[in-house]
Amino acid sequence: MSRRGDRPGDDRNDYGEDWARDLRIQFEHLLCERRRNDFEQSRASRSRFGSPDVRERPSSSLGASAATASASGSSYGRSDSQRGDSSSAAPPSYSSLRNLPKIPTPPAAHDKESQKMRNQLLSLSLTPTKYENPGLLDEALKVIPLDRIYNEAEEESQVLQAQAESMGDGRKPEWGYQDCVIRALLRWFKRSFFTWVNNPPCSVCLSPTVAKGRTQPTPDESACGAMRVELYQCSNASCQAYERFPRYSDVWRLLQTRRGRCGEWANCFSMLCRAVGGRVRWVWNAEDHVWTEIYSEHKQRWIHADACEEAWDNPRLYAEGWGKQMSYCIAFSIDGATDVTRRYVRKSEHARERNQCPEEVLLYIMQEIKNLRRANVSKDQRFRLEKEDSSEDRELRGYVVASITQAVTRIVPGSSPAPSGTPVSAAGRPAGSSPANDDQKLPAEQPARQSGNDEWVAARGENGRRNQHQGPRDPRGPN
């Protein structure tokens, strides 16, 4: 009798979604049986110590008093050890009740941490509303080489269409035309438009500069959203001039400066995506990184896009490529806010403790922002958005199930990971795998962080794959 793992090509299919569903059903039956056994044992223990069965009730209040007195007297007459045995015979606590759906709960007035988290998220939720300014969108369209972008998108779209048709099975192209427009915009933005800044060069002699801390913004800098200004000094002994680096958040100003770090990159790129007609999310990470999500009508889901890395549909980049541990990843759009941490943190070893507020409070804040953003939308649009929310929630829960299934598969005898020669689709997944996983690139394909110098990356704890090829570095670096 051949074993399951002995049949060629079945290593991937035998432990797929059907197997995971069967395993879940077996686990539920096992849990129910265990609860039933615990309950029967507790009844037997109560009867052994003289406790009445729950179905046996005194026929009168006098009987109830007598029963209470008897139980009380027998309790005082027992030794401490006997009392301990009695307490251990109590019905099970059913700790699984803790896993029931959490109810959104507003932060308590005395809970300062939760109030702080709420205020922060409400403030961050205003960022994508700025992308709806018609004048700003017109300015953005002026700086985008639209002919170049659309020509590249058309060419890529035709190639993908031809590839799909050549398969002969009626499949759709991997990406739609609008997706190709955003992909072309991403390449142009990274390679030709925006500039990464480590230490800004001296504006007088163009020599390298040295960080000297921070300074207060000027009124003009504050007017353009610069809440803080980094100060640098020229390293040229004959110059020694100071160089200011305002961290602008005003997108109109960023269209002029065209430089910055991840905050400026994500802010400006998100607005340009909106200018060419994309539905945009600005994603904030509590561990000091931001990026973009674009809604794909072709895929009917939100797509990860990081302009700093020219990364497209690769949400595992940060955890498995950079070695970054994350706690909160919140996506903000003109339609609300969503906790998308499960899209970017797939394994427990990549998760940081979520202790800024209770999960019930976070759910309340997410719903509060959605209600604010959707207060004036039509009934049909609200229904469409709620349907998208439900679909995305299933997607995010699917990542949890996939992670558990993968962990269980590792310990199943006879199972093994896909060999290195397994064919991989253009989306970076093994051929024949579920389309639900088509956003996942293989771990071996996850690159190290490209933007930022080594010291800066190391100080942020984002040099995971760099460490595989280089020795340890000085963790000191600019913030």
Active site residues: 262, 289, 306
Q: Would strands 280-285 and 289-296 be described as parallel, antiparallel, or unpaired?
A: antiparallel
Query: Among candidates 252, 149, 159, which has minimal Cα distance to 191?
Result: 149
DSSP run (H or E) holding 262: helix 262-275
Tally the C-alpha atoms within 13 A of residue 83's C-alpha that lie toward its C-beta. Answer: 10
Specify the amino acid at residue 455. Answer: E
DSSP run (H or E) holding 143: helix 134-143
Helices 177-188 and 146-167: crossing angle, nearest 10°?
130
Specify the amino acid at residue 266. Answer: A
Tokens of residue 416, six digits: 């093994």
Locate all alpha helices (DSSP H) within 312-358, ordered by sequence: 341-344
DSSP run (H or E) holding 164: helix 146-167
**For 221-318, where are the E strands, in sequence order?**
229-234, 242-246, 259-260, 280-285, 289-296, 301-306, 311-312
DSSP run (H or E) holding 84: helix 80-88
DSSP run (H or E) holding 331: strand 329-333
Alpha-carbon gap, residue 326 to 344, rounded angstroms? 8
Q: Would strands 301-306 and 289-296 be described as parallel, antiparallel, or unpaired?
A: antiparallel
In which region does residue 126 sit, left (phi positive, over 0), alpha (psi from -120 to 50) or beta (all else)?
alpha
